[in-house]
Every structure is written in structure tokens, then in C-alpha cells.
């Protein structure tokens, strides 16, 4: 028997007993499996199609979802945690809680924001170095605060106006804030967007100021700023009362 005849007879036998058919089936199965693994892998075509469909359904749903009921649960959890936290962690968690609360204001006037800041200054200003006044009781001397808007010159071809809102307390620089604001030139309502993101990570929240948290909430919720004034100056009375000293 020649070699060619032997090979032919062997192939014929394997065809007849189903061995080759079994091997082909196994390889075909393996090939299909490999193809599916590739298609459903991180960069596979099917995965991309599924991902796009999931995004088209889930993203609008999540954006429009009302999370207020979960904030109630979050509030109770934070209360429990706060009762067993150090002073630094309490400050961080309290600020986190304030930041998570939804900002209901769709718009706020500049004069309203200025008033809130003035109240913040009166409550938190450093009174060291202030003269004590003994008239109609005992109090600290007033401090001067100002509001000023610096408008940036925009390019003729730009669609936006940019400006910096400055809130300044000469006595205590810790009370000072500079806030970037912007509006669309063709906006008939003349509403400005607030951009404030001084707190970069959750650890920084322990050092965040109350007014900073408000600015971040207004920025995140896209609350519009209506400029009804771009220049103010007032004398603010600190809330803290000095202890009287009689000589």
C-alpha cells in the first residue's frame, strides 16, 4: 500500500466514524466563542452598541430623577456619624450635608447675594484689633465691606461676557471672595452663570466656609445671577459682643 493510499484510507475511516466531524464542530464552537468574546469585550462592537443604548436610556432618567427621598436617609446617617466624630470630621460632614442639599433657587439677585454675604461677615468676622464702643451698651466698631464687579473686555467674535464678582472686607481678608461669572451676549434675560469650585476634594470640605458652600451649590445647580447692582459699600456691625472692661 502506498503512502497516499494509507492517508486516503485513514481519512475515509475518520469521516465514517465521525471523528473529523467532531473535531470540526469543536473548532467551530471554539471559533464562535472567541468571536463572541471579542464582540462582547471592552472594545467589541456589540459592547459598544449595548453601551450606547444603555446610556441613551439611563442618562436622561438619572438626570431627571428626584433624589430628595434619599437625602432624608442621608441626613439620618450623617447625624449618627456626626455624634461619634472628631471636630474636624464633624465640620467636613456638616459641609458635605449642606453641599448635598438641593438648591431650590432658580435665580438670585446680586443684591440678595450681597445681603447674605454681609450677614455671613457680621457673624464670622475676626474682631481682633477692632475698637470697643461703649455707647448704648458695648459693641465693636463697624467694618467696611464692598461689592464690586470687574467686567472683562470680550472679543467681538465671542458669544460670552465674562466678569469677576469681588466681595471684600478690608479688616478681615478671610471674608473675601472672588467669583467668576459669565453670560451669553444674546440672552434677553441678562442672566449670569456662577462658576465656583474652590473645594477640590472631600478632605477640603473640613476647611470650607459656609458662604463657600452656598456658592458651590449655586454653581452646581446652575442658579442664575441677576445683576441688579454691580457696586455696593456698607458698614457692618459684628455680631460678636466684647466683654466690657471698666477701669
pLDDT in tens, the chain (247 residues): 565 666 566 666 656 677 766 766 677 777 767 776 766 666 667 677 767 766 666 666 555 655 555 455 555 555 555 555 555 555 666 656 555 555 577 899 999 999 999 999 999 999 999 998 887 788 899 999 999 999 998 788 888 899 999 999 999 999 999 999 999 888 777 899 999 876 655 556 666 788 988 898 888 888 999 999 999 999 999 999 887 665 5
User: Looking up cell 484510507, which residue turns up?
Assistant: 9
H helices present in the chain, as ranges: 3-17, 19-39, 45-63, 68-82, 87-100, 110-124, 210-220
Radius of gyration for the alpha carbons in the chain, expressed in angstroms and rounded = 34
User: Looking up cell 472594545, which residue turns up?
Assistant: 43
Task: For the sheet with 191-195, list strands across it.
Answer: 107-109, 224-226, 191-195, 177-184, 160-169, 143-152, 231-236
Spatial distance between the Cα atoms of 220 and 102, rounded to a whole number of angstroms: 10
State pTM to two decimals: 0.61
Spatial distance between the Cα atoms of 15 and 86, rounded to a whole number of angstroms: 79
Amino acid at each position: 500500500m502506498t503512502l497516499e493510499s494509507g492517508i486516503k484510507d485513514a481519512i475515509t475511516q475518520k469521516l465514517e466514524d465521525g471523528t473529523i466531524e467532531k473535531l470540526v464542530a469543536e473548532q467551530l464552537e471554539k471559533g464562535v466563542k472567541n468571536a463572541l468574546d471579542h464582540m462582547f469585550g471592552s472594545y467589541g462592537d456589540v459592547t459598544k452598541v449595548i453601551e450606547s443604548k444603555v446610556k441613551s436610556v439611563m442618562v436622561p432618567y438619572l438626570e431627571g430623577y428626584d433624589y430628595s427621598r434619599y437625602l432624608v436617609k442621608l441626613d439620618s446617617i450623617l447625624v449618627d456619624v456626626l455624634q461619634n466624630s472628631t471636630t474636624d470630621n464633624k465640620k467636613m460632614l456638616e459641609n458635605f450635608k449642606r453641599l448635598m442639599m438641593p438648591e431650590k433657587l432658580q435665580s438670585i439677585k446680586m443684591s440678595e447675594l450681597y445681603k447674605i454675604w454681609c450677614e455671613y461677615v457680621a457673624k464670622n468676622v475676626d474682631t481682633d484689633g477692632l475698637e470697643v464702643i461703649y455707647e448704648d451698651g458695648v459693641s465693636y466698631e463697624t467694618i467696611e465691606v464692598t461689592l464690586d464687579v470687574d467686567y472683562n473686555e470680550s472679543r467681538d467674535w465671542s458669544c460670552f461676557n465674562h466678569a469677576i464678582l469681588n466681595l471684600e472686607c478690608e479688616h478681615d481678608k478671610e471674608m473675601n471672595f472672588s467669583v467668576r461669572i459669565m453670560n451669553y451676549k444674546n440672552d434677553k434675560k441678562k442672566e449670569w452663570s456662577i462658576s465656583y469650585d474652590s473645594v477640590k476634594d472631600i478632605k477640603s470640605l473640613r476647611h470650607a466656609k459656609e458662604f463657600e458652600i452656598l456658592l458651590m451649590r449655586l454653581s452646581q445647580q446652575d442658579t442664575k445671577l441677576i445683576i441688579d447692582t454691580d457696586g455696593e459699600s456698607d458698614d457692618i456691625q459684628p455680631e460678636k459682643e466684647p466683654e466690657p472692661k471698666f477701669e
